């Protein structure tokens, strides 16, 4: 096995949960001319048919992506296929792919990741101009971090698929003779998998399911969001290239592109040959996917993440950390905090008591200071992916008497970029405004009766609406223990007293489980054993 040592190293990291990054996140770790080559490759794609996908039998070319920075259409066109063609090709490819050994599949999948790593810079520009993430965030999230999560699926899949003996002579002494039965044990894949992507993280949220399907012997059809196709198209092109070079069907992995006017997601999801579905996106459609009969489903849906402020040492470092978390990609992250629960009497600090209003004003000032920092503001916030997100926030403010934060921010390179500074809005716990997800650049500081009430509200929100993260600031060990117990009881992980370079938004592959699978924010986890084991079935055969 070519990549055995790499698989073993990844498995060791998974078990130890320590820092491990098989694909470095620093751009300087890659070719010195990589940025220039990647930028040129991205620019050559604009206003042209995408190069690299197998397009035989296509029904034409489609594409509707718009750069949130340039505010013009990218003009990239992708081959269009009918749902029937996609599924039938995937089913045929499955008959070939499932026969490969787990070792061969693992080697090929790591070869694919290595091939993708050669295009990290191009992926960075593609992600930047489809999602609105800053370039460095785009480079890391769609490149090294996505590859790390995919490697996580491959390594854990290899472990789960090889954990039992494949064959054995079973011997039972019957007194005067031995009963011997030959047995074999096979992990049998389920078939065709559909992976439904989102507009904000088109590769990071997509490749774990794709590579989990493939290592288990299934094939994968990737249905990206029509506004964020280019990044995952680059990944699929490299995967198909490796398959073709090894004499295998490129239809083992396919890209199913559609438009907002003529979507094909439901057609694919309902198809009788589609056995597995991975989904990232809003709760309403996620619940529809979960309701489909006869499917094995893995979802990451919406959640409402909380911060509990009980007591702190240094308000400047805490408010600065929270301001960065609010502003990172303008709150367009599934891990971004939305509700900040603060007792009505305020919070104690090493500098004295801070009233509720002083907390709101302190957080607002920290966000404003970051936004207006010429070296950080526009680059941390990035751009708003679509007008729906921006309008949602504006409508919420208009209906509730709020105002937008008065921070004038423009991007130094893209003056037309769709920017919006996060708003920090103080509200009473009796209000309903904070009780639903408001995806995007808005944060509600919720005035609660006391610290105990703050915890109860955070736990109730996680239980009823779902939560992927929770952040707590407290200098009281007993209170921290109570927060950990109550939030874990509703299957929500807690981060405590983050300052400096540690941010609640960020989850590390090989260490942090992403989504617990235990509350309404989703039913699956990047990456635990269930994420792999539900994609195949163990079958044993016996021979007398």
User: In the prediction, which pLDDT does 403 show?
Assistant: 58
User: In the prediction, which pLDDT does 393 show?
Assistant: 87
Tokens of 146: 């996505």
Q: What is the pLDDT of residues 72-105, one digit of tens each?
A: 999 999 999 999 999 999 999 999 999 999 999 9
Q: Residue 189: which of 212, 223, 163, 171 has the closest Cα? A: 212
Q: Is 16 exposed, middle or buried (0-12, 13-18, 19+ CB in 10 A)?
A: exposed
Residue extents of the structural domains in the chain: 25-301+524-543, 306-496
Helix axes 144-161, 4-16, angle to 10 degrees: 90
Tell me phi and psi for residue 257, to 5 degrees.
Answer: -90, 135
User: In the prediction, which pLDDT does 130 show?
Assistant: 98
Per DSSP bridges, beta strands 495-496 and 352-354 are: unpaired
DSSP 220-288: EEEE--TTS-HHHHHHHHHHHHHHHHTT--GGGEEE----SSS--HHHHHH-TTEEEEEEES-HHHHHH
Angstrom CA distances, 177 to 173, 174, 183, 265, stand at 6, 5, 19, 60
Query: How many percent of the chain have pLDDT more than 90?
Result: 95
Q: Is 338 exposed, middle or buried (0-12, 13-18, 19+ CB in 10 A)?
A: buried
Per-residue pLDDT band for 437 (boundaries 50, 70, 90) equals very high
What CATH number belongs to 306-496?
Answer: 3.40.309.10
Per-residue pLDDT band for 404 (boundaries 50, 70, 90) equals low
399 pLDDT above the threshold of 90: no
∠ CA(143), CA(149), CA(151), 5° rounding?
95
Residues in the chain, total = 544
Tokens of 205: 């949220």
Average pLDDT over residues 367-391: 93
Q: Residue 419: which of 434, 400, 433, 404 has the closest Cα? A: 404
Superfamily designation of domain 25-301+524-543: Aldehyde Dehydrogenase; Chain A, domain 1 (3.40.605.10)
Alpha carbon distance 141, 90 (integer Å): 28
- The sign one gets for the Cα dihedral 504, 24, 441, 225 is negative
395 pLDDT above the threshold of 90: no
For residues 402 and 67, the model is more confident at 67
Q: Residue 405: which of 415, 416, 394 has the closest Cα? A: 394
User: In the prediction, which pLDDT does 400 show?
Assistant: 74
Rg (alpha carbons) of the chain, rounded to whole number = 24
Task: Give strand ranges (E) for 338-438.
Answer: 339-343, 347-349, 352-354, 423-428
406 pLDDT above the threshold of 90: no
Q: Does a cis peptide bond (omega within 30 degrees of 0) precede residue 103?
A: no
Alpha carbon distance 345, 450 (integer Å): 7
Average pLDDT over residues 166-179: 96
> Pseudo-torsion of CA 348, 352, 355, 360, nearest 10°?
-90
């Amino acid at each position: 096995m070519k990549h055995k040592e790499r698989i073993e190293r990844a498995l060791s990291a998974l078990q130890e949960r320590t820092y491990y990054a098989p694909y470095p996140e620093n751009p300087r770790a890659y070719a010195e001319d990589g940025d220039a080559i990647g930028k040129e490759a991205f620019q050559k794609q604009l206003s042209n048919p995408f190069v690299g996908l197998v397009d035989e039998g296509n029904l034409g070319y489609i594409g509707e992506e718009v750069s949130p920075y340039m505010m013009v259409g990218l003009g990239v066109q992708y081959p269009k296929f009918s749902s029937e063609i996609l599924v039938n090709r995937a089913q045929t490819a499955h008959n070939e792919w499932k026969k490969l050994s787990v070792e061969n599949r693992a080697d090929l999948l790591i070869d694919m990741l290595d091939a993708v790593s050669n295009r990290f810079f191009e992926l960075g520009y593609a992600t930047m101009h489809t999602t609105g993430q800053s370039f460095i965030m785009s480079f890391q999230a769609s490149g090294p971090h996505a590859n790390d999560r995919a490697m996580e699926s491959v390594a854990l899949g290899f472990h789960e698929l090889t954990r039992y003996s494949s064959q054995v002579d079973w011997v039972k002494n019957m007194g005067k003779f031995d009963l011997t039965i030959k047995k074999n044990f096979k992990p049998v894949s389920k078939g065709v998998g559909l992976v439904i992507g989102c507009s904000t993280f088109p590769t990071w949220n997509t490749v774990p399911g794709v590579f989990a399907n493939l290592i288990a012997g299934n094939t994968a059809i990737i249905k990206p969001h029509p506004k964020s196709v280019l990044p995952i198209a680059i990944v699929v092109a490299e995967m198909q290239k490796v398959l073709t070079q090894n004499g295998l069907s490129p239809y083992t992995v396919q890209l199913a592109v559609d438009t907002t006017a003529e979507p094909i997601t439901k057609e694919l999801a309902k198809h009788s040959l589609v056995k597995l579905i991975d989904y990232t996106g809003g709760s309403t459609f996620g619940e529809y996917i979960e309701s489909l009969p006869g499917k094995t489903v893995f979802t990451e849906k919406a959640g409402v993440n909380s911060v509990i402020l009980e007591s702190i040492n240094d308000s400047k470092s805490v408010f600065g950390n929270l301001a960065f978390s609010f502003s990172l990609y303008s709150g367009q992250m599934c891990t971004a905090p939305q509700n900040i629960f603060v007792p009505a009497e305020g919070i104690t600090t090493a500098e004295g008591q801070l009233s509720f209003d002083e907390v709101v004003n302190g957080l607002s000032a920290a966000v404003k200071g970051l936004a207006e920092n010429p070296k950080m503001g526009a680059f941390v916030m990035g751009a708003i992916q679509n007008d729906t997100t921006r309008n949602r926030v504006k409508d919420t403010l208009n209906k509730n008497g709020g105002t937008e934060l008065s921070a004038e921010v423009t991007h130094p390179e893209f003056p037309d970029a769709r920017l919006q500074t996060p708003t920090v809005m103080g509200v009473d716990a009796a209000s309903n405004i904070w009780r639903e997800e408001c995806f995007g650049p808005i944060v509600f500081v919720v005035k609660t009766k006391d610290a105990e009430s703050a915890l109860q509200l955070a736990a109730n929100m996680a239980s009823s609406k779902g939560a992927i993260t929770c952040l707590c600031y407290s200098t009281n060990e007993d209170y921290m223990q109570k927060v950990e117990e109550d939030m874990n009881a509703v299957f929500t992980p807690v981060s405590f007293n983050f300052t400096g370079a540690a941010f609640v938004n960020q989850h590390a592959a090989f260490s942090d489980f992403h989504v617990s699978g235990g509350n309404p924010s989703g039913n699956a986890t990047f990456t635990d054993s269930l994420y792999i084991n539900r994609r195949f079935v163990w079958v044993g055969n016996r021979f007398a």
